[in-house]
Structure 1
């Protein structure tokens, strides 16, 4: 897949996630210097049962040129104290690990596939915050403390939650309840619905293409069939000789 194809898919997902009607209220997403392959993302945790409740955690998602066939990477900026977050902020989570790796013992259903989206990744990150994966810790100290001294772990997390509140953007519109914080039913957010959308922003090219993300896997199968047919033709030619 060309970088143009990847850019077109990312544009669609970016537009949906930042659209007043389709976007998820708890995510604040902007491009880094208008680079469609680099997103700055803020995640607001509004689940009242979460240890991270009230926190606003900033991160950066970087996409490969062959997205969605390869997964993006995610890094918290600044880093947070969590068993699955390296000290430099890099996140270790199954959904961002390439599937089909024989050296990886993670279930295929939990690793990356072209069917995944930025939205599914962000929802998985929210879930991981309160349910760390102890099988592949990125921060050993945090992992041990989470299991053996949870009270101390909780103190550190709550301290980070309070610090993170200073990063909430002035233009961030707080969802009116935790029930719609991670869904796209934003009809009650009238202020956001009135915001104009800049239609001139999107990536332009002389040859515009339309991409159906759900058919990407079908495209792969078609390519495989074509390769098989070519191999059969080559075998026949060799046999004729």
Structure 2
């Protein structure tokens, strides 16, 4: 509740939050700003995409465990956004999480990782219309955490798939 009030007080047009189904533990977050020098920002302007919509689900023991976060729309390529809209960021894992992180700080880190990872809006015919699913995102996130636990937070060798 405190986090929600803090974000609403900011009013800086970086993010806005709406509760999903009036549930304090399930937020839809609109991210309005990424680096204005990035290809993703250019894509957003060209496609009239006002924001990136994310879903953030908080566990019962938040802030001591990380939220589950995924992209809903638009469909993105690269930028550490994977199948189902899962997000590859160490700070979203129990190992990388700190209870000191705020939702705003996590969103700023996500916006930076989108640009660093050369995220783009998917424009491939057919694929760009296919919606991300929560089930797919959860499975992908579980898999990527397992991979990173094995290899660390670097890309595994291509020979390992």
Band the TM-score falls in, shorter-chain normalisation:
0.5 to 0.7
Question: Which residue pairs with 1:112 in the alignment?
Answer: 97
Question: Which residue pairs with 1:33 in the alignment?
Answer: 21
Mapped pair 1:122 → 2:112? no
Quick one: distance in 1 between partners of 2:123 and 2:82?
18
- With normalisation by structure 1, the TM-score equals 0.44
- With normalisation by structure 2, the TM-score equals 0.65
Contact 1:52 1:158 in 2 (8 A): no
| Alignment partner of 2:116 out of 131, 149, 154 | 131
Mapped pair 1:91 → 2:76? no
SS at match of 1:88: helix
Count of aligned pairs: 117
- The structure whose RCO (Cα within 8 Å, separation 6+) is larger is 1
Quick one: distance in 1 between partners of 2:63 and 2:115?
27
Instruction: Please tell me the root mean square deviation across aligned C-alpha atoms, in Å.
Output: 2.3
Q: Which runs of 5+ in 2 are unaligned?
A: 129-161
Quick one: distance in 1 between partners of 2:37 and 2:123?
17
Q: Which runs of 5+ in 1 are unaligned?
A: 1-10, 100-110, 133-145, 147-153, 164-241
Judging by fraction of residues, say which structure has more strand.
2
Which 4+ stretches in 1 moved above 3 angstroms?
156-160
Contact 1:28 1:43 in 2 (8 A): yes
Contact 2:63 2:99 in 1 (8 A): yes
